[in-house]
Amino acid sequence: MSALAGKVAIITGAGSGIGRASALRFAAEGAKLVLGDKTEAVHETAQMVKDAGGSATALQIDAGVEADVQKIVKTAIETYGDLHVAFANAGISGGMAGIFDLTPEEWSEILRVNLIGPWLMVKHAGQAMMDGGKGGSIILTASVAGIRSGAGGPAYSASKAGVINLAMVSAQQMSETGVRVNAICPGLTETGMTKPTFDYARDKDVMHKVGRLNPLRRAAQPDELANVALFLASDQASYVNGQAIAVDGGLSSSHPVTRQLTGQTAV
């Protein structure tokens, strides 16, 4: 049987990257989807799901606005009659400006989307799952930038550290409800957010340097993150709760070093 047969799932940030890859992966495993994104590309993702034989409803929403999160949860219940999985994946990078360069307004916007947004999904999707009485799985996209410094700008990193803690606190506060909450911490992944980095590397013919700081010596593709999200969404992860899972090629397994045991110099 498919891993998500009979399941209803919400995915935000579904217009591209990890969200789109997860939509296609979840649908292939039998899930009925409600997809959200701020851009019109979410409709393209929904059509891709339908073209592959799946079921998807698309909404243009702002994942950091409570009314929009309430709307996507309500749409899932009204369209498919239930809600089993919510993947709060939407986020923004905010650039790489230093700690002294960002304005309070810029910090607020990054925290609104990246941290308040996932909390809103926990609040409303979690309540819907508890009301349904069957439990469920909530997945939050954090980042290796939330584990330690060096993988993102200050506001982005702080927001993702908050997401990791949010998963832990939420799992505890929903004890005995059957609702699990976990976070995924991607390393460098080729998505819409990181497109400028990859475009620059291809233009300068230095793609071989992208991702060289992790032991696998490469960046991730969105499908590799979607596979982990699928696991957490499925009943195969029935005893995984309150965790932050790094999917980063091993980047976060070490403190900075200048030379590996193989004698290759890291860049």
Catalytic (active-site) positions: 156
Q: Contact at 8 Å (CB) between 248 and 254?
A: no
94 vs 107: CA distance, rounded Å: 8
Of 134, 23, 28, 119, which is closest to residue 77 (Cα–Cα)?
134
Q: In what order do the strands lie in the sheet with 32-37?
A: 55-60, 32-37, 8-12, 85-88, 136-141, 179-186, 244-247
Q: Contact at 8 Å (CB) between 227 and 26?
A: no
How far out from the chain centre does Cα 32 lie?
A: 18
Are β-strands 8-12 and 32-37 bridged in parallel, bridged antiparallel, or unpaired?
A: parallel
- Number of Cβ atoms within 10 Å of the Cβ of 158: 18
